Structure 1
């Protein structure tokens, strides 16, 4: 089981952070490992929306489709792989610290299967490292806009 939780404080209002982070079109800008995001369903983002991602992780090219399972605008977004090499659920949560400060939490949870199962400890470590970089990048983007 992989369950990686990371968070960061961003000096921006919660609405700005949540809108930017929840927009799949921005994912390649702030996710280190994501190369592209392509909508499989109509915009805007809603329950059951599907987005196809192309990424690179541990030296491998990955293609997977996330489906939106829960969406509370400005508070929480839960996506789950509809297909792909590794069943995964990703959760974003946003919490307002004050009018200009937001805590963003990123959680990745999944059960590697097959060969990936043997790699679980390494996957967890590498995912935590990547998530920290991703959150630092979104913080940098939003605080310098």
Structure 2
């Protein structure tokens, strides 16, 4: 069973600002509640082929995984997939302007769990949706507060 979860938010900030901040993996620990660190395995800034090692805690488990950037269009989209880690996953950020100072952001995670995670896929999807909505709310508050 695959997992495919999306969440959206409208942020009252220009698209250039939102995409630059949210699209920089170095900032992930500032707005993802469950990510404790993001370390570059390649030289920043983000580009096609960039690799970033993340440490996170999700559903009571400590996770370490490496994402590789597989699509990158500055100011529009970043897509990454796990190059290493316990749960094969892809994450995509997309941004579109809604007026001159407002941005619509979509966050999507999808993958094919294996082992125990496969059996728990519906539970994992619900937990991911809840976490993604919390993270986007935190991002909105962080960016709109200045």
Paired residues for 1:82-101 under 5 Å: 82-101=83-102
TM-score by length of 1: 0.99
How far apart are the structure 2 equivalents of 1:24 and 1:93?
Answer: 14
Match of 1:113, SS state, is coil
Quote the offset at 1:22 in angstroms: 0.7
TM-score by length of 2: 0.99
Match of 1:62, SS state, is strand
Structure 2 residue runs without a partner (length 5+): none
What RMSD, in angstroms, separates the aligned Cα atoms of the two structures?
Answer: 0.4
1:77 matches 2:78:
yes
How many residues are aligned here? 145
Match of 1:126 in 2: 127
Match of 2:141 in 1: 140
Structure 1 residue runs without a partner (length 5+): none
How far apart are the structure 2 equivalents of 1:55 and 1:43?
Answer: 21
Which stretches of structure 1, 4 residues or more, deviate above 4 A after TM superposition? none
CA deviation digits over 1:41-79, x for unaligned, max 9? 011111000000000000000000000000000000000
